[in-house]
Amino acid sequence: MNDFSDLQLVENYIAGDEEALRLLIERYTNVIFAFVSRYVKDDDVAADVVQDVFIKMWKNLESFDRGKNFRVWLYSIAKNTALDFLKKRKLLNFSAISEDEVFDVEDVSPLPNEILKKADEGAILNEALKQLPSLYREILLLYYKDDFNFREISEVTGKPLNTVKSIHLRAMKMLRKILKK
Amino acid sequence: MNSKMFEKLEEKMAPNGLANKIFLKIAQKQVRIARIRFALFLTVLTSSVALFIPVFSMLWNDLVASGSTNFFSMLFTNFSVVMATWKDFILSFLENLPILSVVAFLFIIFAILLSLHFVHKDIKRVFYNSYSLKI
């Protein structure tokens, strides 16, 4: 059953196979925990939020649109749940990012080796990412860490596709500047 | 190259046993829902079964009073005549049918079948899962 796709597991669960639900949860617990931890720093609280995410997933499994990507759908639930939690605790700072903002990106090529060597240390990269605005950081991590494409990131974040692409370019440029220091 | 850089980034791992804890939590909710549904449909089933005889008696009395039972006996005694005038036969039968009693009887049958379905669906989860989850 471990080789089953997400959609097959969803279908199996709806058909009455409880083990399929367990597999889905096991498959995504770590990545969803890592994703939620980007919003919620406390591990215990993050675990509670992750639990809420999977409960919401379970409640809506029967109405899940089979034409959609299950992973994207689950990440959307995780993001909304994390944001709801932060709103309740009034911890959310809304940083306005103008979608009309035009940014001339001169250089979209990969980072030079010197910078990569510096960035080779995960901790340094982590510190550099912390200096980025949260949405920039989120898009970079979704793209490079979670392997989403831009269209999927657009669905998860709720931002238009072109905005996601331009934010990605801006974020990489900012990251490059930070790592050069 | 950019993605290589991000491979070095370590992200938090979920605490041990979180997946199992989540699954158990969902299982507990499933048992709770099953218990409520089981209690509700057991009540509906019991009430429907209790009402079955009175409703059936009411239907039978109304069928006799309306003369609908005569149509059934005609089917066996004058079958060829019924087949020759089947359209009129059906129309007359429908006109004489005690609609309210028929609807009430069909409703009771439907309620019994539906509640049997849900009681059967939930009984395992309520009694077996409750025991295994120690709820």
How much is the ipTM here? 0.76
- Cβ burial of A148 (10 Å; 0-12, 13-18, 19+) is buried
Quick check: A162 contacting B, CB < 8 Å?
A: no
Q: Cβ–Cβ of B5/A119 closer than 8 Å? A: yes
Taking the C-alpha atoms of residue A51 and residue A81, their distance in angstroms, rounded to an integer, is: 10
Residue A159 φ/ψ, nearest 5 degrees: -95, 150
The model's pTM = 0.74
By percentage, how much of chain B surpasses pLDDT 70? Answer: 93
Residue A64 φ/ψ, nearest 5 degrees: -65, 130
Give the residue range(s) of CATH 1.10.10.10 domains in chain A: 113-180
Residue of A54, A121, A140 to mutate for B, most B C-beta atoms under 10 A: A54
- Give the model's pLDDT for residue B42: 94
Q: Cβ–Cβ of B18/A33 closer than 8 Å? A: yes
Residue of B11, B122, B128 to mutate for A, most A C-beta atoms under 10 A: B11
Confidence of residue B123 (pLDDT cuts 50, 70, 90): confident
Which class in CATH covers the domain with range A6-88?
mainly alpha
The arithmetic mean of pLDDT across residues B55-63, rounded, is 92
The arithmetic mean of pLDDT across residues A44-68, rounded, is 95
- Give the model's pLDDT for residue A116: 56
Q: Which residues of A17-30 are buried (b: 16+ CB within 10 A; e: fewer)?
A: eeebbbbbbebbbb
The arithmetic mean of pLDDT across residues B18-42, rounded, is 93
Using only the alpha carbons of chain A, give its radius of gyration: 18
Taking the C-alpha atoms of residue B107 and residue B113, their distance in angstroms, rounded to an integer, is: 10
Give the residue range(s) of CATH 1.10.1740.10 domains in chain A: 6-88
Cβ-based contacts of A30 with chain B (< 8 Å)? 13-14
CATH number of A113-180: 1.10.10.10
The arithmetic mean of pLDDT across residues B8-29, rounded, is 90
Angle ∠(A34,A35,A40) on CA atoms, nearest 5 = 90
Cβ distance A74 to A24 under 8 Å?
no
Q: Cβ–Cβ of A43/B15 closer than 8 Å? A: yes
B78-94 residue pLDDT tens: 888 888 888 888 888 88
